[in-house]
Amino acid sequence: MIAFNRYYNKFNILSVSLVIISLLLLTFKGLNFGIDFKGGTLIELRSSDSKINVSSLRDNLSQMNLGDVSVKNFGNETDYLIKFENNENKNVIEEIKKNLDKSFGNNFNFRRVENVGPKVSAELLKSGVIAISVALFLMLVYIWIRFEWQFSLGAIVALFHDVIVTLGVFSLLGLEINLSIIAAVLTIVGYSMNDTVVIFDRVRENLRKYSDIKIFELTNISINETLSRTLITSITTLLALLSIFFFGGEVLKGFSLAMIFGVIFGTYSSIYIANTVLVRLNVSQKTVLREDKN
């Protein structure tokens, strides 16, 4: 048996610091919102001329009065991602096409064009925030119906930890937040909950089984009993996610990366956050028995 409970305090301090650092990052550095949430235009280009490079493209486009243009390679050498702030000009794509054809010859394939107006991006951001809030709330309700409130609190604290730290990593690394990241965060919420619930289920079962073991020891027993399952499921999920990350194409990179972080944090938090909340709230056999009487 591994003595997870020996490190409860140390990891709690670590988690609290991680959350604080993440919150500071989110407040001061902020998130790198993509055009879904900020509005603007995105163009994915493929050129058939190897002489064209990022800086020549950037020089060319910067003469077009598009505002702040970002040009970078996307996936491989000949693919480029161009982004700029929302532009009132309705024919901007047409003009870019003409301009590029004039300067570089007809060597471009416009593989993807996305244009999100300011009104739509504001709505998307709002519905994303609502979706995550509703998800957290429903999880809270579900776990509250299924378990005692101490468990519910533990699970929610773990969830907030996972979501905040994952977003903190995105802020730190400056990774783009788009619609698929919202999907990833919601899936992380589901996954983290899933992991926590399995351990909690065992904690509750053990509370009924052993009448004389304190919660500090009991959580450790439960973690150990479910440990191989926790690891196997995390590993298979990570195998699937790594496969998406490496082979699923550029579009899914951000999504799978967010999920990979989420699964790692989710697994960690089920062990070191959810359980320690139970310990700190001094959950005992009485907590469960009272519920049984009702």
Partner 1 sequence: MLYFSKLRIIFITLISIFFIIIASSNLFKFDNKLLDKKINLGLDLQGGSYLLLEIDNDPVIEQKLQNLTVTIRNYFKDKNIKITNFKLLDQNLFFTSDENSKQAILDEFKSEESRINPYYQRFKSHQLDIIEENNSFKVSYSKQGIINLKTSSQDQALEIVRRRIDEIGTNEPNILKRGNDRILVELPGLDDPMRIKSLLGKTANLTFRFVTNDTEDSFGAEKLVFEDGSEEAIVSKRIILSGDNLLDAQPRMNSETNETIVNFSLDRVGAKRFGKATSTGIGKRLAIVLDGKIISAPVIRDTIATGSGQISGGFTFQSATDLALLLRSGALPAPLNIIEERTVGPDLGQDSINAGMLALLIGFILVILFILVKYKIFGIITNIALVLNLFILVGVLTLFEATLTLPGIAGIILTVGMAVDANVLIFERIREELKNEKNNLIAFDSGYTKSRTAILDANITTLLAAIILFFMGSGPIKGFSLTLGIGIFTTLFTVYFIARLLTVLYVSKNKEKQGLI
Which range binds partner 1 by CB under 8 A, 61-69, 121-129, 163-171, 284-292? Answer: 121-129
Structure tokens at 165: 């730290």
Look at residues 101, 69, 109, 100 and name the one whose alpha carbon lies nearest to residue 86. Answer: 69
Strand 108-116 versus strand 176-177 pairing type: unpaired
What is the rounded CA–CA span in Å between residue 135 and residue 187?
10
Size of interface with partner 1, in residues (CB under 8 A)? 68
Restricted to residues 60-119, the positions that interact with partner 1 (CB under 8 A) are 90, 93-94, 109-117, 119
Residue with smaller CB distance to partner 1, 79 or 217: 79
Asked if 201 interacts with partner 1 (CB under 8 A), we say: yes
Residue with smaller CB distance to partner 1, 53 or 86: 86
DSSP calls for 184-227: HHHHHHHHHHHHHHHHHHHHHHHHHH-SS--HHHHHHHHHHHHH
Taking the CA atoms of residue 130, residue 132, residue 134 and residue 140 in that order, the dihedral angle to the nearest 10 degrees is -150
Restricted to residues 148-187, the positions that interact with partner 1 (CB under 8 A) are 179-180, 182-183, 186-187
Asked if 122 interacts with partner 1 (CB under 8 A), we say: no
Structure tokens at 67: 């505002």
Which residues lie near partner 1 (CB under 8 A)?
A: 44, 90, 93-94, 109-117, 119-120, 124, 127-128, 130-131, 134-135, 138-139, 142, 146, 179-180, 182-183, 186-187, 189-191, 193-195, 197-198, 201-202, 205, 225-226, 228-229, 232-233, 235-244, 246-249, 251-252, 255-256, 259
